[in-house]
Every structure is written in structure tokens, then in C-alpha cells.
Amino acid sequence: MYFIANWKMYGDLKSLNSLNRVIKFSKKYKKKKIKIIYCPPYTLLDSFSKKLKKTKIELGAQNCHYEILNGPFTGSISPTMLKKIGSNYVIIGHSENRLAGETNDEINKKIKSSIKSNLKVIFCIGETLIQKKRKLTNKILHQQIIKGLFKIKNLNKILIAYEPVWSIGTGVIPKIDDLDKNITFIKNVLKKHLKVKNPKVLYGGSVNSKNVENLVTIKAIDGFLVGGASQKAKNFIDIVEKTII
């Protein structure tokens, strides 16, 4: 079971103290099959890497450029840079970036570069509210998967995070039956069209310690991509505990 903390554009050096409680918690449940991954802003990657060095908690970044090494791309970070600073994962295709104009083709390039740089990818997909109302969810998810993973062989290095755009930061989550159907649909696409034997699909979108109790009833879910609720250690730990106990 995966628990990914996406801090988005939050956090500073004082935020490192919040890791102490989670590190202590992770040692308590080290025999459980759980994987905790922190994805802080670029400015904290080096500090997080040092803090988590002797723990089983892993480090991820929130995005990267499609250029593997370096280049004239002001303000961008390459996957090789992320790997060298201690990242093992990178989030690609987050709905917030898609809304800002990131295309399936750009996402595909980023995934290819990240895998070549030996990073594992958290590949985000999800429909907008308008697409949901027009009953286009399956069509959009299928399109995002096929185009985003076009000509990618190392699919075992990719986690899929289903995060409906309309659920991000709104406090509204899909109905359990709908979410179960969507997760199952995603796994079937991966199995049938891309021949992935055991696809891992996470859910992201307004996950908190209250609604996670209902979310874990969906057996097809392999973990959670947690946003705001991951920034406070107690809230994040509550989510993990209510999932594994």
C-alpha cells in the first residue's frame, strides 16, 4: 500500500520537524507492507533527502522537464538532477499541471526521460467536471493512459494515480461505487492494452483521515496520493493507520 505526500507549493526548512513523527511511526510499522513517499517542493529536496537517508521513507519530486540532463530551460529541473539529489520518484501529469496546459505528448516525454534516469513515475490521470457530466470519464482516462504511456516499455516502474480534476482541493470525492468502477476500468486498460500484469493504481483528490475509512473499502485501490492532509504529521499518520489497521 502506497502513501504519497504531495506538499505542492508549501513548506520551508521548519517543516522538516514534522518528519520526525512520521519517521518514528514508520519504524513502528516497518513489517507492514506500506511504502511512504514524500514529494516536497524542489527547494526542500536536498534537506528531505538528508533527513530521510537512514529511513525506509522515500523521496519524490512533483514534476520535471523532459530533457534528461540539462539545457537552456530557465526554472526547470531535469530528471537526472532529481536522481542525483536523492529522489526515487517523480509525479508526472498532475491535474494542476494539466489545467495549466501540460499535454499528453509532453507528459509522455517526461515519463520516458524519468524512466531513463532511473526514476519511478507517479503518473496522474483524471477527468474534469464537464467531462464527467458528459459521461466521458472512460474515454478521457483511456486516452490519457494510451497517449501518456505511448512506446514505454518499463511499465513496472510506473504507479497510476487516479485523481479527478474536480476533486482536487474541493473536499468532494467520487461516490464509492463510481470510484470502484473507475479504478477497475483503469486496471483493465493497463492489463488488456498495455499487458501490465499487476498494475498499481492509487487514488488522489481531497483524501483525509475521515473519508479514507470509506475509500479503503475499495479493494482495487493500492494506495493514496495525499495533498493538503499530508502537510501535518498527525493527519498523514491518521490516514495511514486507518488504512492498514
175 burial type by CB count under 10 A (0-12 exposed, 13-18 middle, 19+ buried):
exposed
For residues 105 and 93, give the distance between their C-alpha atoms in angstroms, rounded to a whole number. Answer: 10
- Separation CA 229–CA 151 (nearest Å): 35
Phi, psi of 199 (to 5 degrees): -65, 140
Residue 191 CA from chain centroid, whole number: 20
| Catalytic residue selected from 163, 193, 213, 241 | 163
Give catalytic status of residue 67 as yes or no.
no
Q: Answer whether 195's CB lies under 8 Å from 217's CB.
A: no
- Catalytic (active site) residue 94: yes
Of the candidates 58, 65, 94, 127, the residue annotated as catalytic is: 94
Q: What is the DSSP letter of 210?
A: T
For residues 60 and 47, give the distance between their C-alpha atoms in angstroms, rounded to a whole number: 12
Q: Which residues are designated catalytic?
A: 94, 163
